[in-house]
């Protein structure tokens, strides 16, 4: 089930909320949330997808207890080693099994929804418990809730156990939580349904077929639109997850901080899919491997894994290593020197790298990727005789100018800055008016979302596939 469907918004969610808030005790609330989360997960999926979910949950709960009990001893090391290895093996086997099956076009076709997310949550739980950052959960139902709670289950963020440990046993939903959570969810829904779902057809109409005939500026236009699409699709979905989590009394960590506002690639990854980046930083980057070349080897490993996490196709690995190479380059240049660069230059550099990176992310076909590079660099002017601009692109741009402009503006931290000013304002009119306008805007966006959802089904979230 996905958030951006009328069935979820106006059938599943209302029933879930009624049952949840009708329950008085936290234990009952947990049971309600687990039950609805399992239904949410199983809805539309084959029955067997529940086996790896429930199996890995039981396994990780038990192995964490065993590892902690024998911490420092060989048995403990074996337990934690086996725990991590089983999780990685399970994820890899589902994620990449398609590579070995002849005739399978999508290597991730057999991957149950959300497995990449809940497996990484489980690994973080095991290691945090073993490294004494968290205490293992004694109550299986609470651990099950941590893994399965539906707002974050299918497309993240990758929630650290420590950030929700207390809430699993004791949480309340205040009116502020309800208000902030609902507004956040509405904003997320609007990002997904109004912006991302409207940008996707533009991308499909150009990149959905041979790109050999595309102009240079046309390719730039479409890849920029695609970058915006991925951002709004994923961050919109995350906003809904964070908003709904808040409604249920959870505070999940932010997963995006306006990544396109970055000045360097290192900064971009501190703002983009933060929970994945921090996972690799905390659990992979500092692994004692590589000896003298430790730093470079680990960097390579992190970015190779970042690419691999997204899928088994070559373009994802290339995508990960591409960013790794630029981060290495920035490390060699040094932060201080980079800061001395003109701001315009750093923005141009980082946006160009990021946008071209999304081109790599899109094209699974090597030939098309090569053609994309020819187009984006302008070499296609020579190799294909392609034009600099073309009327189809112009037509698409003028026909979607306000949409693309709105997407660019909303991808920058302008609205949060306004919100902060309103929140900190000492003027009652500004404070009240600002909040009322924000609420009204969210309601208006919800109405538009409903109209769009009623007239056409929303595209599935891109990160469902990961």
Site for other proteins in 189-218 (CB under 8 A): 198, 201, 205-206, 208-215
Q: How far is CA 111 from CA 53, 117, 309, 361, in A?
A: 12, 12, 12, 19
Nearer to other proteins, 329 or 436 (CB): 436
Cα dihedral 445→464→234→191 (10° resolution): -10
Binds other proteins (CB under 8 A): choice among 74, 175, 343, 382: 175
Q: Is the Cβ–Cβ distance between 106 and 82 less than 8 Å?
A: no
Q: How far is the CB of 70 from other proteins (least distance, A)?
A: 40
**Binding positions for other proteins, 243-302, rule CB under 8 A:** none
Q: How far is the CB of 213 from other proteins (least distance, A)?
A: 3
Single out the residue of 251, 255, 256, 236 nearest to residue 176, CA to CA: 251
**Binding positions for other proteins, 412-441, rule CB under 8 A:** 425-429, 431-432, 435-436, 439
Give the span between the Cα atoms of 465 and 311, in whole angstroms: 8
Nearer to other proteins, 14 or 334 (CB): 14
Catalytic site includes residue 310 = yes
Residue 398 within binding range of other proteins, rule CB under 8 A = yes
Nearer to other proteins, 325 or 438 (CB): 438
Binds other proteins (CB under 8 A): choice among 293, 395, 408, 420: 395
Q: How far is CA 355 from the centre of its chain?
A: 17
Residue 333 within binding range of other proteins, rule CB under 8 A = no
Binds other proteins (CB under 8 A): choice among 179, 314, 349, 373: 179
Residue 331 within binding range of other proteins, rule CB under 8 A = no
Binds other proteins (CB under 8 A): choice among 55, 334, 370, 399: 399
Structure tokens at 201: 């057809």
Nearer to other proteins, 10 or 100 (CB): 10
Binds other proteins (CB under 8 A): choice among 19, 21, 31, 43: 43
Give the span between the Cα atoms of 193 and 233, in whole angstroms: 8
Judged by CB under 8 A, the stretch of 309-317, 329-337, 350-358, 450-458 that binds other proteins is 450-458
Cα dihedral 104→108→112→117 (10° resolution): 180
Judged by CB under 8 A, the stretch of 135-143, 226-234, 304-312, 401-409 that binds other proteins is 401-409
Q: Which residues contact 253 (CB under 8 A, 6 or more apart)?
A: 157, 159, 160, 163, 274, 275
Residue 392 within binding range of other proteins, rule CB under 8 A = yes
Single out the residue of 311, 313, 312, 287 nearest to residue 299, CA to CA: 287
Catalytic residue chosen out of the listed positions 258, 273, 310, 347:
310
Binds other proteins (CB under 8 A): choice among 90, 448, 459, 462: 448
Q: How far is the CB of 426 from other proteins (least distance, A)?
A: 5
3-class DSSP assignment, residue 213:
coil
**Binding positions for other proteins, 79-138, rule CB under 8 A:** none
Give the span between the Cα atoms of 195 and 237, in whole angstroms: 12
Nearer to other proteins, 7 or 296 (CB): 7
Q: How far is CA 113 from CA 87, 201, 356, in A?
A: 16, 24, 28
Helix H or strand E encompassing 164: helix 161-169
Residue 5 within binding range of other proteins, rule CB under 8 A = yes
User: What number of residues does the chain have?
Assistant: 466
**Binding positions for other proteins, 368-387, rule CB under 8 A:** 385-387
| Residues classed as catalytic | 310
């Amino acid at each position: 089930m996905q958030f951006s469907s009328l069935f979820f918004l106006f059938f599943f969610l209302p029933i879930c909320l009624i049952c949840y808030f009708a329950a008085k005790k936290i234990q009952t609330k947990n049971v309600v949330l687990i039950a609805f989360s399992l239904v949410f997960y199983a809805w539309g999926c084959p029955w067997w997808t529940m086996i790896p979910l429930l199996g890995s949950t039981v396994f990780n709960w038990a192995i964490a207890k065993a590892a902690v009990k024998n911490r420092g001893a060989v048995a403990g090391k074996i337990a934690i080693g086996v725990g991590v290895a089983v999780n990685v093996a399970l994820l890899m086997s589902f994620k990449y099994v398609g590579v070995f099956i002849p005739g399978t076009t999508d290597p991730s076709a057999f991957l149950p929804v959300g497995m990449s997310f809940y497996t990484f949550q489980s690994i973080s739980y095991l290691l945090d418990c073993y490294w004494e950052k968290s205490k293992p959960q004694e109550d299986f139902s609470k651990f099950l809730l941590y893994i399965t709670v539906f707002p974050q289950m299918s497309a993240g963020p990758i929630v650290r156990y420590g950030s929700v440990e207390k809430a699993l046993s004791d949480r309340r939903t205040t009116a502020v939580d309800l208000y902030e959570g609902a507004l956040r969810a509405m904003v997320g829904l609007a990002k997904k349904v109004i912006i991302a779902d409207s940008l996707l057809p533009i991308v499909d109409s150009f990149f959905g077929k041979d790109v050999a005939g595309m102009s240079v500026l046309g390719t730039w236009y479409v890849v920029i639109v695609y970058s915006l699409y991925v951002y709004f699709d994923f961050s919109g979905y995350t906003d809904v997850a964070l908003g709904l989590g808040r409604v249920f009394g959870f505070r999940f960590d932010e997963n995006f901080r306006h990544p396109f506002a970055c000045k360097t690639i290192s900064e971009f990854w501190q703002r983009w899919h933060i929970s994945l980046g921090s996972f690799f930083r905390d659990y992979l980057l500092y692994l004692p491997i590589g000896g003298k070349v430790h730093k470079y080897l680990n960097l390579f490993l992190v970015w190779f894994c970042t690419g691999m996490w997204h899928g088994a196709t070559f373009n994802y690995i290339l995508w990960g290593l591409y960013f790794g190479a630029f981060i290495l380059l920035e490390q060699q240049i040094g932060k201080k020197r980079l800061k001395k660069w003109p701001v315009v230059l750093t923005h141009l550099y980082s946006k160009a790298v990021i946008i071209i990176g999304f081109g790599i992310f899109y094209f699974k076909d090597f030939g098309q990727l090569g053609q994309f590079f020819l187009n984006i660099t302008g070499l296609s002017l020579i190799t294909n005789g392609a034009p600099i601009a073309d009327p189809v692109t112009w037509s698409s741009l003028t026909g979607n100018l306000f949409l693309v402009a709105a997407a660019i503006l909303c991808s920058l931290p302008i609205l949060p800055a306004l919100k902060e000013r309103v929140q900190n304002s000492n003027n009652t009119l500004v404070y009240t008016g600002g909040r009322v306008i924000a609420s009204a805007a969210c309601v208006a966006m919800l109405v538009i979302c409903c109209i769009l959802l009623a007239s056409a089904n929303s595209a599935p979230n891109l990160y469902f596939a990961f």
